[in-house]
Chains A and B, each alone.
Chain A
Amino acid sequence: MSRALPVLTVVAAILALWYAAAVWMNATWTRDQAERAGVELSVSDILTDTMAQERPVLPAPHQVVTELWNTTARKKVTSKRSLVFHGWITLSATLLGFAIGTGAGILLAIGIVHNRAMDMSVMPWAIASQTIPILAIAPMIIVVLNSLGIQGLVPKAIISAYLSFFPVVVGMVKGLRSPDAMQLDLMRTYNASGRESFWKLRLPSSMPYLFTSLKIGIAASLVGAIVGELPTGAIRGLGARMLTGSYYGQTIQIWSALFAAAILAACLVGIVGVLQRVTLKRMGMDQ
């Protein structure tokens, strides 16, 4: 409980700053309108107007929350204006890509740990690839797959998979190598085969590392799916909501899509965190 109060204070401070910024940034438009109409404005007029513009420079928090509520709870889920619908499009691509990326990453990590030639040739590239802005190839993947006749979910999922792939490889290699020489020697004195020492020692001891990289990976997957929706002029998905919002100046729509993405990311990372805690507790590895 000792942490709740400071966190709440900080959040309240951010909200207060946000309201102040909303008034300050939207006031110009209000004054312009008033000048054109030839009306004198009192301070309270400016305050009320900046809170309720239709296309504000910076929407006030309650406007975003109202929009979020309107587009999630009060629209049918199948409606094109429902954020749940768009969120699901993005989420399905994220999850598919995450599953592919994680699976491939774990397999490659196992290969790297067991094969010295693979380790020496692939590992430096896997590490170097983390310094490369991989996201830049997103538009190309979409268009190339499109010209091959593959559309919709799969191209976005491939970008997601690509982004979650390398964190998992690097984390998993670290994890599979985490048993020390003493433990490996013990397995050898038990006359364990390579397969046995993998299943009974290496894989269990890699779990903390796996979950840490899964958290990074799923956040990266979501970013990948959102960015994958940007360059093609997609009409469905959270990224598409942001893009159309920025085309038509619908700032409230952008902010609500942004918050929906943020909530989605927080939920996904939270779910992985819960899985981590439960699994590690069952394995007796939690601190």
Chain B
Amino acid sequence: MIWVVAALIFWAAMFWLNIRLSKSAQSHTRAVRLLVPAIFGITILVVWEGVVRGLNVPGVILPPPSAIAARISTSLPVLWADFVQTFVKGALSGYVIGCGAAVLVAVAIDRSPFLQKGLLPVGNFIAALPIIGTAPILVMWFGFDWQSKAAVVVVMVFFPVLVNTVQGLAAASAMQRDLMHTYSASYWQTLFKLRLPAAMPFIFNGLKIATTLALIGAIVAEFFGSPIKGMGFRISTEVGRLGLDMVWAEITVAALAGSAFYGLVAAMEKGVTFWHPSQRRS
């Protein structure tokens, strides 16, 4: 009981602190903007720990954060092997192939307005479908190893990136195109010097959506069959053995990998589209 009470007191104190911080004069400084969500996150962890310990929640239902942290530190090699199998081999290779193919196809169909008119609605439609359902089929075709996971990722990221790139290639204004024309620039010069750079904000929008999809695709595809490593495999087998601390450890790794991947793409975007109004400091 003492744990629960302590957790509640901690929660109340931190809640009060956050309200004070957000109403204080410094609430617009960068430090406070980082501090407030950090306090909120820590509070959730502390309350979780306190409630689980205080109420004696069994570990097969909800392990406390300390048990998860202990599990992460003791099984680093396993987590690393799973990470390499799922993220580096499955998600990343599929992401590169899928996004690369989507950009190439977008540039190819860009020359034909007819194809564009036809492919955009179809692509938009397919992007809204539960593509994850192709996972069992692709696992059947490409075997249990990472190739099938990469294939699922390719299918999942292809259409969002394609649709965004086609939209982006249309982003350069008629005036800018006319200017390239007066310079007597060839099609390829216009493409590389004007239209691809102008399309970058749109392309990166698609690439950012695709980061999450890639990781989801790689993990869920492993539910349909996998060699004896991989994050999705570990999650589904450890759930079966009620080793929930290991499941949470994998989820932590997945969350960190997902955020880091997204952050990396967002950082690249910042470097490439530094000229865009959304990236400029106001």
A243 within 8 Å of B by Cβ? yes
Interface status of B133 (Cβ within 8 A of chain A): yes
Q: Are B118 and A226 in contact (CB under 8 A)?
A: no
Whether A135 and B133, one on each chain, are in contact in the complex, defined by CB atoms closer than 8 angstroms, is no
Chain A residues with a Cβ closer than 8 Å to the other chain, count: 60
In the complex, chain A residues whose CB is within 8 Å of the CB of B235: 136, 139-140
Question: Once the chains are docked, how many angstroms separate the CA of A116 from the CA of B21?
Answer: 10
Smallest CB–CB gap between B238 and chain A, Å? 9
Interface residue from B19, B62, B137 paired with A258 (Cβ < 8 Å): B137
Contact with B along A121-136 (1 / 0, CB 8 A): 1111100101111111
Interface contact B216-A133, CB-CB below 8 Å? yes
* B-contacting 9-mer, from A2-10, A206-214, A277-285: A2-10
A144 contacts which chain B residues (CB < 8 A)? 60-62, 244
Interface string of A213-249 (1 = CB under 8 A from B): 0010001001100110011000000110011011001
From known contacts A10-B118, A136-B250, infer whether A131 and B211 are also in contact, taking CB-CB under 8 Å: yes
Task: Say whether, besides A131-B211, A242-B133, A139 and B223 are in contact (CB < 8 Å).
Answer: yes
With A132-B258, A136-B231: A257-B60 Cβ-Cβ less than 8 Å: no
Instruction: Decide if A93 is an interface residue (CB 8 Å cutoff).
Output: no
Chain A residues positioned under 8 Å from B215 (CB to CB): 133
Q: How far is the CB of B56 from chain A (nearest CB, A)?
A: 15
B interface, over-half SS: helix
CA distance A124 to B134 in the complex (A): 33
Partner of A266, one of B23, B27, B128, B263: B128
The answer to whether B139 touches A143, judged by C-beta atoms less than 8 angstroms apart, is: no
Quote the shortest CB–CB distance from B68 to chain A (angstroms): 12
Q: How many cross-chain pairs have Cβ atoms below 8 Å apart between A and B?
A: 170
One digit per residue, 1 when the CB lies within 8 angstroms of any chain B CB and 0 when it does not, for chain A 99-116 equals 000000000000000001
| A residues near B141, Cβ cutoff 8 Å | 57
> Are B118's CB and A9's CB within 8 A?
yes
> Contact mask B14-32 → A, CB, 8 Å, 1/0?
0100110111000100001
Interface residues on B, range: 35 or more
Whether B115 sits at the interface, judged by CB under 8 Å, is: yes
Contact indicator per residue, chain A 236-280, by CB within 8 Å of chain B (1) or not (0): 001100110110010100110110011001100100000000000
What 1/0 flags go to B117-157 for Cβ under 8 Å of A? 11101100100111011101101110000000000000000
Q: Does A20 contact B (CB under 8 A)?
A: no
Task: Please tell me if the beta carbons of B129 and A262 are within 8 angstroms of each other in the complex.
Answer: yes
Mark contacts of B221-260 with chain A using CB atoms, 8 A cut-off: 1 yes-contact digit, 0 otherwise.
0011100000110011001101010011011001100110
Q: Which of B33-41, B98-106, B174-182 contacts A (4 or more CB under 8 A)?
A: B33-41
B236 contacts A231, CB within 8 Å?
Answer: yes
B114 at the interface (CB under 8 A from A): yes
Contact call A136/B254, Cβ cutoff below 8 A: yes
Closest Cβ of chain B: how far from A112's Cβ, in Å? 12
Is B203 at the interface (CB under 8 A from chain A)? no
State how many angstroms separate the Cβ of A11 from the closest Cβ of chain B: 7
Do B239 and A139 have beta carbons less than 8 Å apart?
yes
Residues of B within 8 A of A254 (CB): 136-137
Q: For the complex, is B212 an interface residue (Cβ under 8 Å from A)? A: yes
Task: Report if A131-B140 is in contact (Cβ < 8 Å); known contacts: A117-B36, A223-B130.
Answer: no
Is B52 in contact with chain A by the CB < 8 A criterion?
no
Q: For the complex, what is the distance from the CA of A230 to the CA of B247, rounded to whole Å?
A: 17
A135:B220 contact, CB within 8 angstroms: yes
Within 8 A of A (CB), among B39-66: 39-41, 60-62
Q: Which residues of B contact A2 (CB under 8 A)?
A: 117
Taking CB as reference atom, which chain B residue is nearest A126? B37
* Chain A residues positioned under 8 Å from B62 (CB to CB): 144
Answer whether residue A137 sits at the interface, using C-beta atoms and an 8 A cutoff: yes
Pick the contact of A223: B40, B114, B132 (CB < 8 A): B132
CB neighbours (8 Å) of B32 from chain A are: 120
User: Which of B122, B136, B239 touches A246 (beta carbons < 8 Å)?
Assistant: B136
Known: A140-B248, A144-B62. 17 other contacts (CB 8 A): A5-B118, A8-B118, A10-B115, A14-B122, A57-B140, A121-B36, A123-B37, A125-B37, A125-B40, A131-B261, A135-B216, A136-B216, A143-B239, A143-B240, A144-B61, A245-B136, A249-B140
Query: Can you name 23 A-B residue pairings with CB atoms under 8 Å?
Result: A6-B115, A6-B117, A7-B121, A11-B122, A57-B140, A116-B23, A119-B22, A120-B22, A121-B22, A121-B40, A133-B212, A133-B216, A133-B254, A136-B220, A139-B236, A147-B242, A223-B130, A226-B133, A227-B132, A243-B136, A246-B137, A251-B137, A251-B140
Which 3 interchain pairs have the tightest Cβ spacing? A6-B118, A121-B40, A246-B136
